[in-house]
Structure formats: C-alpha cells, structure tokens
C-alpha cells in the first residue's frame, strides 16, 4: 500500500486530543518508533515551531529519555494548539510513533500526519 502525503498535517491540538484518549484507554506507555531505529544515523526529531517535541531514537534510548504518553501530553500542553507537527529530516514512509501492548502496536502519529519541512 502506498502512503501519500497528508494534506493537512496534525496540529498540537489534534495530537494532544489523540494522546490523551490513548492515555485514558491504555495508561502511561513507553513510546517507540517503528520501524525501530537501529543506529544513530537514523535518529531524528519531531518539532513544533522552534521546539523539539520528541526525539525519535532507538527503543532503549527512548526509555532512558522517559519518552512516554504522559511526557508527550505534558510537552503538548505547554505548546500553543495551532502549530503543526513537523520534521526536517528525510524519514521513511513507514515511520510511526506509538507503543506496544498485549494486543499489538498502537500508533500515535505516522509519516502522513507530519509536515515535511525539507520538501
């Protein structure tokens, strides 16, 4: 299946609503990037305006950084609601951030929902 560019990237407000909903359903969960980042050359950041929203790292580093649903909510609550989530690096069309559950992977945000500032 081909992934196409999302014509209206996700805003802070949209992502905050989604993450709060997931938090209520699943509790605080450790965030991970899929496909998993395996070396430093694959790492990148998601931005809002001039602020880093989330460092996308390998699973162990994301755990060490404390990247959870609760930490993402706190970060989003400190930002204005209108800006879009963006990235300035080339990322895989398969990119997604989410968390693992007993039922499988639950997606928080994916490639098509992020504004690609380098394009």
Sign of CA dihedral 114, 61, 36, 38: positive
Tally of structural domains, the chain: 1
Query: What is the domain range of residue 32?
Result: 12-116
How many angstroms separate the CA atoms of 2 and 93, rounded? 9
Please check whether residue 40 lies inside any domain of the structure.
Answer: yes
Q: What is the pLDDT of residue 47?
A: 93
C-beta separation of 78 from 28 below 8 A: no
Please check whether residue 3 lies inside any domain of the structure.
Answer: no
- pTM (2 decimals)? 0.88
Please check whether residue 61 lies inside any domain of the structure.
Answer: yes
Task: Give me the residue label for tokens 């398969």.
Answer: 94
Residue pLDDT, tens place only, 44-103: 999 998 899 999 999 999 999 999 999 999 999 999 999 999 998 888 889 999 999 999
Please check whether residue 37 lies inside any domain of the structure.
Answer: yes
- Averaging pLDDT over each range in 3-7, 105-109, 111-115, which range is the top one? 105-109
**Which token pair is 2?**
């081909």
Number of H helices, E strands in the chain: 3, 7
How many angstroms separate the CA atoms of 74 and 3, rounded? 30
Please check whether residue 110 lies inside any domain of the structure.
Answer: yes
């Amino acid at each position: 299946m081909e992934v196409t560019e999302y014509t209206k990237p996700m805003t802070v407000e949209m992502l905050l609503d989604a993450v709060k909903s997931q938090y209520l359903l699943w509790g605080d969960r450790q965030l991970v990037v899929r496909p998993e980042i395996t070396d430093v050359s694959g790492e990148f950041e998601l931005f809002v305006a001039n602020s880093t929203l989330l460092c996308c790292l390998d699973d162990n580093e994301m755990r060490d950084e404390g990247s959870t649903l609760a930490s993402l909510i706190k970060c989003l609550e400190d930002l204005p609601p209108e800006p879009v989530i963006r990235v300035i690096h080339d990322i895989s069309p398969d990119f997604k951030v989410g968390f693992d559950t007993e039922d499988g992977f639950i997606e928080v945000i994916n490639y098509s929902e992020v504004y690609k500032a380098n394009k």
